[in-house]
Structure 1
Amino acid sequence: MKRSSSLTLTTMLAGASLTIAACDDAPAAANWNKNSVAQGEQVETFQYADLDSCKTANAIPDADCDAAYAKALEDNDKSAPRFEAQATCEETHGVGNCVPRTASNGGSFFTPLLAGFVIGQMLDGGGNRYYRGTGLYRGRDGYQTGWGGTLGRDYATGRTTISRQSIDPPDSIRQAPQRMQTRTSVVSRGGFGGGRGFGG
């Protein structure tokens, strides 16, 4: 079992602090998601516990590590799964892995700690490659994004994959209101549920 400790980072994006879990090593082998084939285009991914791990791995340029990590922090602020009670959050993400946060309207809720970030290799319309990042959270079925996606493995290549929508969803998903997870909704969904209700 991996040890984790929480630390507070100040993001330039929000000008505020957030809590991120620092792991002893990067998120390890992804679990196969049996539903991934039905969730649309799959993209190859890299996953890291923190920014330094991304740069040390030297798999992608440092500037892309910076950009992907910044996007992961931004997404964490906007799309981290929200729970009305700490106990419900911990049932899904593990004891000690959830922290309180305050909404802009003054209300409070709990979110899981950011356990790292994932970077997807995307292709634009012209066939040019670019990278896009988002945050990862520990869940019952492995590492998952705030948009509801679960890391999978392409057994033909041995590479880790995720559905494109799970790392770079369309505006209709990105702008949808966050849904508060309750114990009833968590039980009915069998555990982790992305705030906007699609998986992959």
Structure 2
Amino acid sequence: MKRSKSIKLVVMATTTVTIAGCSDEPTLDGRVYKTEAECVADSYVPDEVCVEAITAGKSIHKASGPRYDTVNLCNEQHGNNVCAYDSATDGSSYYTPFPAGYFLAGALTGAVTNQLIQSNVRPVYPERGSKRYYTSGGYYVGSYGGGSWRTYDDAVKTPPKPAKVQTRTSVASRGGFGSRSSSGFRGG
């Protein structure tokens, strides 16, 4: 075989492996619950994990949930009547959407530690005008029927970042809620 043909075959094989590893479909299974009672009733995770997971989700929301400088901007991104006024410990104020629920990754079905709970729970937020939900990091969380939900591994692997209050300019530069400012957009 000529050298140029063998190089082409190597490039083609590498490209195929690379493309196969870049799935645009969510693969991390879990459930989304609005309340502890909903979680307990489903029996997906132990009852005590439900309580700790929803509490952790609320804490993550407080630290990293979407924040906007006006209620109108929050409503434009998430829908009417889902945003509330809140304030941070530093005295700053903002508007934030109520989480539509809390994604609990399948890793929580066995014995868990507090750290594992923190690493496998994410609040999810509605995107206005659609039936889509996203984490505050911009990762799509979708329903796959039968109570099953999926998101991307990075949605829980990537630690939540402290929230910054968004202005109309910063929202426009990102392309709106659910869009990622980096090249790693994972919309669905």
- TM normalised by structure 2 equals 0.68
Shift of 1:159: 4.4
The within-5 A match list for 1:30-179 is 37-38=23-24, 42-122=27-107, 132-140=120-128, 141=130, 142-152=132-142, 159-170=148-159, 174=160, 176-179=161-164
> What's the counterpart of residue 8 of structure 2?
none
Q: From the two aligned structures, give the one with the greater strand fraction.
A: 1
Amino acid at match of 2:177: F
Shift of 1:194: 7.2
Change (3 A) 1:113 1:84: same
Describe the SS at the equivalent of 2:23. helix
Change (3 A) 1:55 1:177: closer
- In structure 1, list runs of 5 or more residues that go unmatched: 1-35
Count matched residues. Answer: 156
Change (3 A) 1:60 1:196: farther
Change (3 A) 1:153 1:137: closer
Shift of 1:160: 2.2
Describe the SS at the equivalent of 1:122. helix
Asked whether the 8 Å contact 2:32–2:102 carries over to 1, the reply is yes
Asked whether the 8 Å contact 1:50–1:116 carries over to 2, the reply is yes
Structure with higher Rg: it is 2
Can you list the C-alpha shifts for 1:3-27, whole angstroms capped at 9, x where unaligned? xxxxxxxxxxxxxxxxxxxxxxxxx
Can you list the C-alpha shifts for 1:88-132, whole angstroms capped at 9, x where unaligned? 000011111111111222221111012211101239xxxx88662
Can you list the C-alpha shifts for 1:61-81, whole angstroms capped at 9, x where unaligned? 112212211210110110110
Distance 1:195 1:76 in 2: 18
- TM normalised by structure 1 equals 0.65
CA RMSD of aligned residues (A): 3.3
Asked whether the 8 Å contact 2:84–2:97 carries over to 1, the reply is yes
Shift of 1:164: 2.4
Change (3 A) 1:61 1:153: same
Shift of 1:44: 0.3
Q: From the two aligned structures, give the one with the greater helix fraction.
A: 2
Distance 2:171 2:124 in 1: 18
Identity %: 28
Asked whether the 8 Å contact 2:133–2:140 carries over to 1, the reply is yes
- In structure 2, list runs of 5 or more residues that go unmatched: 1-21
